[in-house]
Amino acid sequence: MGNAPGSLESLRRTNRLRVLQTVQSRGAASRADIVRLTGLSRTTVSSLVAELVSESLLVERPDQQPPPASPNGGRPATLLTLDPGAGGFLGMHFGHDGLRVAVADLSCTVLDEEQRTMDVEEHVGDAFGHACEMAARLLGRLDLAVSRVVGLGVAVSAPVRHDSGAIASPSPLKGWDDVNVAEELDRRLGLPVYVGNDANLGAVAEWMFGAGRGVDDFVYVMLSDGIGSGIMLNGRLHLGATGTAGELGHVVVSPYGFVCRCGNRGCLETVAGGRALTAALSQVTGPNTTLDDVLRLARAGDPGARRAVQDAGRAVGRALSGLCTMLNPRLIIVGGRTGAAGEPLLDGIRASLAREVSPPVNGSVGIVPGSLGERAEVLGAIALAHRMTPAAALTGRAGGSAAGTGTAGGRVI
Ligand SMILES: [Zn+2]
């Protein structure tokens, strides 16, 4: 009985999946990474990788560089990825003020993407409709049948509940209370759907593809119209008891400040969110000032815009100081639209951390810009689909029968 538990054949099959899952979870991994992460012997890994490469489930990617931290001298290791040509993933990001949809191959390389500005709040049905239209248009342009898409990852600017994958209530995204995103999109597209909070997924994307590569303890801060964060500890997202950890935008930094959309008063978002930044400058620049105006003026050296951005950075640093003291992260990665403001913003964060965090901890934290910009969240959605698609489904994908098998598991990270 080849399938009997404990038989050699069963063990080999389990180990094949472990190797595939390891490559999947990292996006790309060398043979040495797989040995380290699975605990399998070098000989076993070498043999299984050769088998998976011969079956075109894995491919060697000499074009991709391993993270700089890994090798200490010697020839750089060749990275392995899932075979990019065997299918694709869809990613969607529903932010406060727009949608982004992307299609990637199985190695998570984005093939095409679209972005649309719209008021996502209180227009849930329209947002889903537009996102599905954008996905259909992208797949059409790429001549990629929906049957070859193996999973859809979705990033939403709201806390997502652990248990059901539904949006938590009350949601900071107006009109989205209790919406089950996975069920809704599965109904429309017939794909396995995986849903996560956008800042958490931004953290995953920076870890897999960006400024967090090779770093397993960091906090990703998404500064846009809203503010959120993703906390990566020991290479795993910290989600908290109910899945809503990292709501940095709702840390109180000004107890007698403005009332926040969450119902509390003086949350970081009311001081450093997009609306607060535009309000701070609009006395000088006029009532129609947009966040893009503030960022453009700050980059051009306008003293008022730079001051507003730097003060926002100081508030962000204050909100982060307790987290840094408690968790001792290696990096704070600053992304989102406002993250593009660069040095005035980062200087503000550094100034607050220098004041409020003890020197040994502060000295070990680097404050860096994200390297994926506003795309981090949709890339994280693709990474989520990549990680959550069962390796067994990839090994059995030859017939390309993903369509119509939507599981709407609503798995959340
Ligand atoms: Zn709040």
CA of residue 226 to ligand 1 center, whole Å: 10
Domain boundary among 82, 107, 128: 82
CA of residue 211 to ligand 1 center, whole Å: 28
The pLDDT of residue 391 is 66
CA of residue 94 to ligand 1 center, whole Å: 19
In a domain, 2, yes or no: no
Nearest to 330 by CA among 189, 216, 226: 216
* pLDDT value at 162 more than 80: no
Same structural domain for residues 96 and 232? no
The CATH number given to whatever domain includes residue 116 is: 3.30.420.40
Same structural domain for residues 242 and 357? yes
CA of residue 275 to ligand 1 center, whole Å: 13
In a domain, 143, yes or no: yes
CA of residue 253 to ligand 1 center, whole Å: 10
CA of residue 270 to ligand 1 center, whole Å: 7
Same structural domain for residues 149 and 55? no
Same structural domain for residues 169 and 314? no
In a domain, 410, yes or no: no
CA of residue 127 to ligand 1 center, whole Å: 24
CA of residue 260 to ligand 1 center, whole Å: 5
CA of residue 269 to ligand 1 center, whole Å: 7
In a domain, 403, yes or no: no
CA of residue 381 to ligand 1 center, whole Å: 25
Same structural domain for residues 113 and 61? no
Same structural domain for residues 136 and 160? yes
In a domain, 6, yes or no: no
In a domain, 5, yes or no: no
The rounded percent of the chain whose pLDDT value lies above 70 is 90
Same structural domain for residues 57 and 126? no
pLDDT digits (tens, 9 = 90+) for 339-359: 989 899 999 999 999 999 999
Here the tokens at position 367 are 């404050």
Question: In this structure, how many other beta carbons lie within 10 angstroms of the beta carbon of residue 358?
Answer: 10
Of 113-122, 206-215, 239-248, which has the strongest mean pLDDT?
A: 206-215
| Cβ atoms 277, 311 nearer than 8 A | no
Q: Which of 72-76, 202-206, 273-277, 404-408 has the lowest mean pLDDT?
A: 404-408
What are the residues whose beta carbons fall under 8 Å from the beta carbon of 125, sequence distance 6 or more?
A: none
Q: Which domain holds residue 52?
A: 11-67+78-82
The pLDDT of residue 3 is 46
Same structural domain for residues 254 and 351? yes
Q: Using 50, 70 and 90 to split pLDDT, how confident is the model at 405? A: very low
CA of residue 248 to ligand 1 center, whole Å: 9
Domain boundary among 27, 53, 82: 82
Same structural domain for residues 172 and 99? yes
Distances (CA, A) of 378 to 255, 260, 384: 34, 26, 10
CA of residue 265 to ligand 1 center, whole Å: 7
In a domain, 318, yes or no: yes
pLDDT digits (tens, 9 = 90+) for 219-238: 999 999 889 999 999 999 99
Q: Using 50, 70 and 90 to split pLDDT, how confident is the model at 61? A: confident
pLDDT digits (tens, 9 = 90+) for 355-364: 999 998 888 9
The pLDDT of residue 403 is 30
Q: Using 50, 70 and 90 to split pLDDT, how confident is the model at 67? A: low
Question: In degrees, to the nearest 5, what angle opens at C-alpha 371 toward C-alphas 329 and 336?
Answer: 80
Same structural domain for residues 166 and 151? yes
In a domain, 408, yes or no: no
CA of residue 137 to ligand 1 center, whole Å: 37
Same structural domain for residues 366 and 391? no
CA of residue 316 to ligand 1 center, whole Å: 14
* pLDDT value at 413 more than 70: no
* Number of domains within the chain: 3
CA of residue 251 to ligand 1 center, whole Å: 7
Q: Which of 143-157, 229-243, 280-294, 383-397 has the lowest mean pLDDT?
A: 383-397
* pLDDT value at 6 more than 70: no
Same structural domain for residues 27 and 140? no
CA of residue 173 to ligand 1 center, whole Å: 12
DSSP result, 175-211: T-TT--HHHHHHHHH-S-EEEEEHHHHHHHHHHHHST
The CATH number given to whatever domain includes residue 54 is: 1.10.10.10
pLDDT digits (tens, 9 = 90+) for 279-315: 999 999 989 999 999 999 999 999 999 999 999 999 9
CA of residue 279 to ligand 1 center, whole Å: 17
Here the tokens at position 56 are 């075109």
CA of residue 332 to ligand 1 center, whole Å: 21
DSSP result, 203-227: HHHHHHHSTTTT--SEEEEEESSSE
Q: What's the whole-model pTM score?
A: 0.80
